[in-house]
Amino acid sequence: MSDFKDRKDNPLHKEFGIWSNVRYMLRKMAQYEPSTIFLMGLGVVCTSVNSVSFGVVTKYVIDIITGGYGKEEAVGRLIKAMCILAAILIFFTIGNTISYSKSWYRHIFIRMRMITERISRVLSLRYEMLEKPDVLDIAERANQATGGNYDSVEGMIKYMGYIATNIFTVIVTFTAVTVLDWRLIIALILLGVVQFLYYRKVVKKDKEEVWDRLSPVWRKTHYMERVTQDFDFAKDIRLFSLSGFLAARQQKIYDVRAERIDHHEEMWFRYVFFTRIAYVVIRACIYGALYLAVFRDNLSIGDFSMFMSFAVTFSGAFTNMLQNFGNLKQNSLFVDDFRSFMELDIGDDGQTGICLPDTDSFEIEFVNVSYRYLKAEKYALKNLNLKIKAGEKLAVVGLNGAGKTTMIKLLLRLYDPTEGYITLNGTDIREFRREDYYRAFAPVFQDIEVFAFLFGENISLKTMQNTDREKVLKCADEAGLKEKIASLAKGIDTPLTKIVEDDGVDLSGGEKQKTALARALYKGAKFVVLDEPTSALDAIAEQQLYNRFDEMIGTKSAVYISHRLASTKFCDRVAMFADGEMKEYGTHDELMAANGEYARMFNTQAQYYREGSEVSVNA
C-alpha cells in the first residue's frame, strides 16, 4: 500500500483558491521581475491581433479581386492591402518575439527565486518538525511545485499569459461570429464547454491518481539513487553483496512509477481521441453556418473567408481558454502546495524572544522534563530533574536507547519538552531567541557531517575570507589533525569530498570526528556538548582524546554523552540513564561506592582503558 497522503488528509495543507493564487504570482512577478508583467501584456495584444489580422486582410484582398476593378486599380489596391498586412504582421510579430524572448528566462528566474525562498524556509524549520511525516509530505510537495516547467509555479505564470491571450482573442472575435449566426456562437461555446469539462476531469484525475501518488515514489527513488551512488555506502554494498537486493528494491519502486505513468498515458489518449471527434463536429458547425449564410444572406466570398477565419479563431481561442483555465487551476494546486509550506506555522521562527544573559556562566536545569516522540507509545525521556552548574562537566552514560541523545536534543533545544521545562540561569529556554540560544552551544555529534567545502571552511563554517586561519590551525592541532593537514599539499585550503571538486579529499571516520571537535573548538561557545563523538575510535584512543579535550575546554560547562565510560572519571558528575529515566546521579566515586548499574558497567569496560591492553572494542 502506498504511503501517499492525500492533500485533504494533510492538516498542514491549505487551499487558497485560483484567484488568490493569481494575485500571489503577480506579486511574485512584481517582486522579482516587474518587467515580466509588461512583457506578458505585450504578448497578449500582439498574439491576439496576429490571430485575426489574416482574416480581415484576406477579406479585403478577395473583395479587391472580385470587385470588378480595373487592372491597374486592382493591383494598386492589392499592393496597398499587402503593405498594410505586412506592416501589421511585422509590428506585432516583433512585439510577440520581444515578449517571448524576454519572458521565458525571466519565468525561470522567478521560479529560482522561489526555490531560494523554499530552501530558506526549510533551513528555518525547527529540527523537531523535520521528523514529522506531515511536514515532510508538504515540504516534498513544495519541492515539486518549484521543480518543473509547466507543472509548477512557473507553469502558473505561463498559463496566466496564455489565458489572458485567449480571453482577449475571444472578445475580439465574439461579435463577428455572433453577427454571422448567433446559433453558431452557442454551438461553439457548448462544444468548448464539453471539451473543457472532460479536460478538467482528466487533469484532476491525473494530478490525484498519478502525480500526487508519485510523491513518496520520488522520495524513495531519490534515496535509492543516492544509496547506490554514494561512496559512503559502497563498502557495505560490496562486502554484504547488496547489489541484487538494492537493484530489486529500486526496480520495485520503478515498477510503481511505471504503473502510474501508464495510467497517465491511458487517460490522455482517451482525451485526445475525444478532442479529434469534437474538432470534426466544430468544423461541421462552422461550415454549415457559413453555407446557410451564403444562401440566406448572399454572403460574399470575402465575407465568407473572414467569418470562417473569425469562427475558427473564436472556437480555438474559446476552447484553449477553457483548457488553459483548467491548466491554470492545476498549476494553482502547485501554488497551494508552495504557499502551504511557506506559510507553515512553525511557532517560533528563531527571531523572536529575549536576549541571552550577558554572562560567562550558564546554569542549566531540567525540571520534571518528559518527551515522547510523535505517535510513540512510550516516553523517550521521563520526569528528568537535573541541574548542570556553571563550569561543571557532566557525563551522561547508559546503553543505546537509554534516552541520552533525547536529553541532549532537549538541552540544545532541537526538541521542546512534551512536559516540564528547561531553564538557563533560571529562565525557561523557550523565552530566548532560538538562534541566540544555539550560539551558546558547541556540539559534536556521533553522526559527523563533512561539507563539500574547503578543509578550513569545514572547521570555521565560514568562508575562507571570513576565517581566522591561525585559529583554524590551532584548533585542528588541538583536535589531532596536525599531521593530516600537513600531509595535504593545499593544507586547510584542500577541498573535502569529491562531490564538487575532482581533487577533493575523503576523510576517515576518525578524521571526521576530529574535524567536528576542531569545529566545536573554533566556535568557542560557552557550553560544549559531545554526543558520542568518539565512536570511530578505539577505547584507549577515546580516553586519550577525552582527556585532551577536557584540557582544551578549560572552565567551560560541558556534557559528555557516551555508552562507554572513558569520559566519566574526569567529570564532576555522572548521570546514569536507562529506559528513558535517570537511574543514578553523583560523582564517579559516589556511584562506584553505591555498587549499582554504573559500577558494574564501569568495571566491565575498565579492562579496555588500560594502557597496553590488546583488546579494543566498541562496547
In sequence order, which residues have a C-beta less than 8 Å from that of residue 378 and are 6 or more positions away?
A: 372, 580
241-256 pLDDT tens trace? 778 888 888 888 888 8
Q: What angle do CA 319, 322, 327 make, to 5 degrees?
A: 120
Q: How far is CA 563 from CA 293, 304, 492, 537, in A?
A: 93, 90, 33, 13
For residue 540, what is its C-alpha cell?
584507549
Residue 362 confidence (pLDDT): 86
Residue 178 has pLDDT above 50, yes or no: yes
Average pLDDT over residues 317-343: 88
Residue from 269, 580, 555, 252 nearest 403 by CA? 580
Which has the higher per-residue pLDDT, 3 or 85? 85
The CA angle 551-516-531, to the nearest 5 degrees, is 75
Stretch 99-107: mean pLDDT, rounded? 91
Amino acid sitting at position 275 = T
pLDDT(613) > 50: no
Task: Tell which residue, 412, 422, 443, 439, has the closest CA to residue 358.
Answer: 439
Distance CA 138, CA 215 (A): 10
Query: What percent of the chain clears pLDDT 90, i.e. is strictly above it?
Result: 30
Complete DSSP assignment for 157-219: HHHHHHHHHHHHHHHHHHHHHHHH-HHHHHHHHHHHHHHHHHHHHHHHHHIIIIITTTHHHHH
3-class secondary structure, 34? coil
pLDDT of 1 strictly over 50: no
What does residue 172 show for φ and ψ, rounded to 5 degrees? Answer: -65, -40
Which residues make Cβ contacts (< 8 Å) with residue 520, sequence separation at least 6? 442, 443, 444, 528, 530
Asked if CATH classification 3.40.50.720 holds for the domain at 364-448+526-609, the reply, yes or no, is no
d(CA 510, CA 531): 15
Residue ranges of alpha helices (H) inside 298-364 are: 301-342
Where, residue-wise, is CATH 1.20.1560.10 in the chain? 7-342
Residue 351: the pLDDT is: 65
Partners of residue 573 on adjacent β-strands: 394
CA distance 136 to 347: 17
Which part of the chain has CATH 3.40.50.300?
364-448+526-609
The contacts of residue 264 (CB under 8 Å, 6+ apart) are 206, 210
Phi first, then psi: give them for residue 531, nearest 5 degrees: -100, 90
Mean pLDDT of the chain: 84
What's the pLDDT band for 614 if we cut at 50, 70, 90?
A: very low
Identify the residue with better confidence: 319 or 34.
Answer: 34
pLDDT in tens, 146-168: 987 778 899 999 999 999 999 99
**Block residue for cell numbers 567545502:** 453
What number of helices (H) and strands (E) belong to the chain?
Answer: 19, 10
Give the mean pLDDT of 389-412.
Answer: 89
CA angle 550, 551, 557 (to 5 degrees): 50
Whether 221 shows a pLDDT value over 90: the answer reads no
Place of cell 506559510: 343
CA–CA gap between residue 584 and residue 578 (Å, rounded): 9
Q: Which CATH class is domain 7-342?
A: mainly alpha
Residues in the chain: 619
Q: pLDDT tier at 540 (50, 70, 90 boundaries)?
A: low
pLDDT attached to residue 491: 93
Q: Which amino acid is it at 424?
A: L
CB contact set of 569 (below 8 Å; sequence gap of 6+) = 588
Q: Determine the distance from the C-alpha atom of residue 404 to the mean position of all C-alpha atoms in its chain, rounded to a whole number.
A: 31
pTM score:
0.72
Please compute, for residue 139, the number of CA atoms within 13 A of its CA located in the half-sphere on the CB side.
18
Question: Please, are residues 170 and 335 in contact by the beta-carbon 8 Å criterion?
Answer: no
Burial of residue 411 (number of CB atoms within 10 Å: 0-12, 13-18, 19+): buried
